[in-house]
Amino acid sequence: MCSQRDPDDLTARARIREAALQQFGEHGFERATIRGIAEAAGVSSGLVRHHFGAKEALRDACDEYLVKALVQINDQVRAAPNPPDVNYLAVASAAFGPYQRYVARALTEGRAAPLFDKLVELGAQWLADLDAKRPDPPTVSREARATVGAAMALSVSVLHEHVSRGLGVDLSSPEGGDLLARVMLDLYSHPYLTPEEAAEYLAHLPAPESRKAHDD
């Protein structure tokens, strides 16, 4: 899918970045070592420093690369013949391909903000179509809904291991992906609440101002 070419064809710099993405993803930023990354890339630790300087700069390069990749994928998807609809959600999980673990960690640590924001942007575009067909006016801004929606779409990726365990199949496997799609389809076509229930809850919600003095 993305940059799935032969590792031998890549420059040392690219191989290092690729190895860093993998090692950071597998062991986490702190636990991953420059030496380990160098070894995985088939170069020396000295070369890593030569190309990227400090460890953090290497991580920054990884983040930058992923944003570029996401924008690329996004453009591809939007240029595709049939608009993706739900598949937007699949994009979030699948697009990062082998880098899912890295993305999950980066996001959890509050990093890779442009990546998240791009996803929100895509979600908002998608929500715009949905809002047109909607009978009642939304009670909150589209961007707010897109933000929470993006977080939810990413959750499966981020909590990959736990979801796999709960589902009983590895999400990375075809069977896992298939089951996940079916679950998503069911979940996204069956609201937890009726509009009436939501309205009732909403009415019982303390006004934003009065919450200031809220106490438990």
Applying the rule CB under 7 A, the residues between 26 and 65 that interact with DNA are 32-36, 42-47, 49-51, 53-56
Question: Given the structure tokens 């598949």, which residue do they identify?
Answer: 87
Minimum gap (Å) between residue 49 Cβ and a copy of itself: 21
Select 51 or 142, whichever has its Cβ closest to a copy of itself: 142
188 interacts with a copy of itself by CB under 8 A = yes
Q: Which is nearer to DNA, 57 or 152 (CB)?
A: 57
The DSSP element (H or E) to which 90 belongs, if any, is helix 87-94
**Cα–Cα distance, 122 to 131 (Å, whole number):** 14
Cβ closest to DNA, residue 29 vs residue 126 = 29
> How many chain residues bind DNA (CB under 7 A)?
21
- Length of the chain in residues, anyone? 216
- Partner whose binding site includes residue 92, from a copy of itself, DNA, none (CB under 5 to 8 Å by kind): none
Rounded CA separation 132/67 (Å):
30
Binding site partner of 13, from DNA, a copy of itself, none, Cβ cut-off 5-8 A by kind:
DNA
Nearer to a copy of itself, 43 or 112 (CB): 112
Give the Cα separation of 81 and 47 in Å (integer): 44
Residue 92: how many CB atoms within 10 A of its CB?
24
CA distance 18 to 43: 12
SS3 72: helix
**Which entry of DNA, a copy of itself, none binds 82, CB below 5 to 8 A by partner kind?**
none
Burial class (CB in 10 A: 0-12, 13-18, 19+), 174: exposed
Region of 6-14, 40-48, 73-81, 165-173 interacting with a copy of itself (CB under 8 A) = 165-173
Q: From the list 7, 42, 53, 206, which residue makes contact with a copy of itself (rule: CB under 8 A)? A: 206
Q: Is the Cα dihedral 39, 44, 50, 53 positive or negative?
A: positive
Does position 120 interact with a copy of itself (CB under 8 A)? The reply is: yes
Residue choice 8, 11, 79, 190 for contact with a copy of itself (CB under 8 A):
190
